Amino acid sequence: MPGPLAHLTVIELAGIGPGPFACMLLADMGARVIRIDRPPTPARSDLDALMRNDSVVDRGRQSLALDMKDPRAVEAVLRLVAQADLLVEGYRPGVAERLGLGPAVCHARNPRLVYGRMTGWGQTGPLAQTAGHDINYVALSGALHAIGTGPQPLPPLNLVGDYGGGGMLLALGLLAAHAQVQAGGQGQVVDAAMTDGAALLMAAIYGMKAKGLWQDARQSNFLDGAAHFYGTYECSDGRHVAIGAIEPAFYRQLLELCGIDDPAFLRQWERAEWAALRERLAAVFRTRTRDEWCAVFDGSDACVAPVLSMEEVAAHPHNAARQTFVAPDGVLQPAPAPRFDRTPSVLPGVAPRAGADTEALLTQAGYSASEVAALLAARIAFAAPAA
């Protein structure tokens, strides 16, 4: 694979959410990601199917399916660990150790291995052994309290905990630890917790609060929906535009292009005026359709953009020009990012079926053809049937 991480091999102990997302980022940048899957079985419920994203987040993998309850399967994984650079697991603390794949065992096979642990609460602390989901981790960080309407917090999908504060943080930690290995260090454990990551994403907000520039109440601040110059407005066709005219020059352009000359709007930063100004600006935007307003603001610095649906995004001229979205086999998905000028990433292959690469990976691990056949016959290893 091309890409800046083409020299890396990653072992992914299959899971859901942020761990797979981190591995998608690495695969998108060219890393070879070997996913250790459970024996392939039909989805047991709609929830099982929902929790596994087999079309986008799991792209760019090879799959080795093993029954990890058998020590011979664990040995197969350890043979691959000896050849790898990174490992990612997303179990509760202690589970990997009980499987025989904890950091101590893996580092005994490969002292240079970077061992990534992705959890919600982290490896330590009073909540470490309890269940949770993105909304719970974000709640503990202060981020959920800050997002939503005045009366009620609003879950920001699962972007702040699972993906921004989880998977991206893990990917950064893995690459930082690997850089230290390349500088002559040894492997280490990376403890990535979504509570820590969601808190980290709030750094700027906590900084503003410390300076008295942020109130600890929803819809009271210039970035949380209170200010008339930063938010969304419904248009005459029921669709919306997003406004972010913070700086004075941009705000002036917004007013000019909206045809507003009311002197009340000159009091941009007077909080007491925000609610009334928002109502007046809302009335203005209800006079035209979303696309008509976009034509008015096209090419300006008024910081106005259409709120696009997931069905619309690929056709927008900017997204189309940058090929921000791709649709292999008709599956719309974001393209790899960021962009590299010398070692560009390309979209990796589609997500494999569990066990698609079992025989090849066992051979790479040093098993003979007869040994591979024996593992398959004993139902310790599983190969995906031919398509």
Q: Which amino acids are annotated catalytic?
A: 133, 162
User: DSSP label at 162?
Assistant: I
In a 10 Å sphere around its CB, with 0-12 CB exposed, 13-18 middle and 19+ buried, how is residue 129 labelled? exposed
> What are the Cα distances from residue 215, in Å, to 56, 205, 206, 231?
39, 10, 10, 17
**Which residues sit opposite 11 in a β-bridge?**
34, 87
238: left (phi over 0), alpha (psi -120 to 50) or beta: left
Which residue is associated with the tokens 């991206």? 168
Cα 252 to Cα 12, 283, 292: the distances in Å are 51, 18, 20
Write out the H or E segment, with its range, that includes residue 333: strand 333-334
**Nearest residue to 1 via CA among 328, 270, 348, 296:** 348
